[in-house]
Amino acid sequence: MELLAPAKVNLGLSVLGRRPDGYHELHTLFAALRVGDRLWVEAIPEGIELEVRGQGLPADTNNLVYKAAQAYLTAAGWPGGVRVVLEKNLPLAAGLGGGSSDAAAVLRALSRLYPAALELPRLALGLGADVPFFLGPGLAEGRGVGERLTPLPPLRAALVLVNPGIAVSAAEAYKGLTPEMWQPELDIAGVVEAIQVGEEPPYWNTLERSVFRLHPYLEALKQELYRLGLRGVLMSGSGSTLFGLAREADEAAHLAGVLRSKYPNFWVVATETVS
């Protein structure tokens, strides 16, 4: 079977503080997009076979796709094996949840190939904090480390995504945080309403301060996206992808074309939220 593993953006990401377990307490709004990686999954008699196309990602046991397949098949008692072909279209370490979405797609596929009475969200959380979101609806409020999810009605929005080829690890982004950078909870209802009526959303990404300090060019690029006419320009997740909201899909496509012409080596995509 063929599956899309959608990218996500964070329509606001607030770091509220540090938890006793050493992780950070978050408040965010996850939105799945119509762009992403693609996977082909089929049953085989035994074992796990993984092929990765593009992006130079290794097809070994450290790949999150392999780990997801192993986790499901182990929990299900190894009813058979699986072959997965992963086509990587999303940039790596980009704040778009690509690896997490790939893992969730494998869990979804295996639950259809080998149905079993398993708690997929629990398996997903064992693979990463963002993985559970990709099992559910396209829009959800996230708390905790992002794993406590409240599904929300679909929200239609056109976006332009820009990644200049700077890889930023989550550990790198969080390491630069200090207590004075912590921020309050987001106004989720206000964010949703602003996007619906085409206004500047009242959101922020706490991690921008630490990431922009490491990579000042991203802050300059953010201002350029505003000058082009996009609104709500924000870094997604721990970066380095920036996104901006357009009025409609045609405007997003036009502005993406302008950016591709100016920055032919950047990854630039016009897309929409899943609705």
Positions annotated as catalytic residues are 8, 130
Query: CB of 22 within 8 A of CB of 261?
Result: no
Query: CB of 65 within 8 A of CB of 86?
Result: yes
β-sheet bridge partners, residue 45: none
Q: Outline where 49-144 has alpha helix (H).
A: 64-75, 98-113, 120-127
79 phi-psi bin (left φ>0, alpha ψ -120 to 50, beta other): alpha
Q: Outline where the chain has alpha helix (H).
A: 64-75, 98-113, 120-127, 170-175, 188-197, 208-214, 216-228, 249-262
Long-range contacts of 265-268 (CB under 8 A, 24+ apart): 265/165, 266/162, 266/163, 266/164, 266/165, 267/91, 267/94, 267/161, 267/162, 267/163, 267/165, 267/241, 268/160, 268/161, 268/162, 268/163
Closest CA to 89 of 108, 71, 102: 102
β-sheet bridge partners, residue 143: 27, 148
Alpha-carbon separation of residue 18 from 68, 250, 257 (angstroms):
28, 42, 41
Query: CB of 268 within 8 A of CB of 224?
Result: no
Token reading at 109 = 């596929």
